[in-house]
Amino acid sequence: MVIVSRLFAIFVAFTTSLFVISSAHAEVNVLTSIKPLQLIAAAVQDGVGIPEVLLPPGASPHNYALRPSDVRKVQSVDLLYWIGPDMEGFLPRVLKGRSLPSVAVQDLPGLKLRRFAQDSHSHAVDADEHDHDHRPGSLDAHLWLSPVNARVIAAKIATDLSAADPANAPRYQSNLKAFDERLDALDLRLKARLAGVAGKPYFVFHEAFDYFEDAYGLKHTGVFSVAAEVQPGAQHVAAMRSRLQEVGKTCVFSEPPMRPRLAETLVAGLPVKLAELDALGGYTPATAQGYEQVLEKLGNDLAGCLESL
């Protein structure tokens, strides 16, 4: 009987120690609103956990409709990161019901933020050509396309994870250092890749790339901003085509998953190439190198089109 009692006591002590150890190393559940933030978080969590992302590939962060399962996830995860109300306007109402930490990264100290131009210089036809979601003077929330900002976001995530999971704090800090070093190498590659196309004219359908352009000495010539569900009138299209004719050989970039319906009509018969730039990297695997892959593809796609003219 004594032996049985001792064995039972040993068993209880052993299982209790296992529970304590597993609790100390419990994975912190991280949720991000959009893919680029998930990729930055994945670099920090590498080898410890895999962050989740709220928006599926192809969904717009400006007007996403949350499902009931999304709402439950938002309210239950340990750490949540989003850009802020200037990007995900659908989130503030849901976050009011959340008691756990939420970080709007647009408010982080140390970010280099931009605002949309006050004038229409960069726009294709006239003041009406401003991207209607991006009004002059408002915050440009596509801040993840700046490697400088990505470093700030990664540092915040590493700090939060280290506090929530002290046992893995050395790993998070090591991952952060490795991320910074990879961004140094990426920066050099992108500067070399894009140096030859600086100054070449190109147009976009969505003013989403100013942070990337600012980092690498680029500038779009104009923005053909049209609502996806509205087909512009003949006079409007003629004005756009006139602008393209003035410039000559150029590229017009849309964003996946959908190319605006007027794109082919707009460039028909002109020395203009249609191509895509993916600011969100929606299908990029959530790996430690995912963020760099999004920026490198962006640079290669932009340079590739302009070099082919």
Return the percent helix, strand and coil in the chain, to nearest 5.
50, 10, 40
Taking the chain (309 residues) in consecutive chunks of 10 residues, what is each chunk's mean pLDDT? 48 43 65 98 98 95 92 96 96 93 97 78 40 72 98 98 98 98 98 97 95 97 72 81 96 92 92 97 97 98 97
Task: Please check whether residue 223 is in contact with residue 209, taking contact to mean a CB–CB distance below 8 angstroms.
Answer: no
N-to-C CA span, the chain: 88
pLDDT of residue 306: 97
264: left (phi over 0), alpha (psi -120 to 50) or beta: alpha
Predicted model pTM? 0.87
pLDDT of residue 10: 45
The pLDDT assigned to 233 comes to 74
Q: How far apart are CA 289 and CA 15, in angstroms?
A: 38
pLDDT at residue 12, as a whole number: 42
Which candidate, 35, 43, 32, places its Cα nearest to that of 70? 32
Q: Is the dihedral of CA 41, 42, 43, 47 positive or negative?
A: positive
Contact present, 84 and 103 (Cβ < 8 Å): no
Is the domain spanning 30-114+137-308 CATH 1.10.10.60? The answer is no
- Strands (E) located in 106-158: 114-115, 139-140
Confidence (pLDDT) at 128? 39
How far lies 131's CA from each of 86, 104, 199, in Å?
14, 23, 22
pLDDT of residue 111: 97
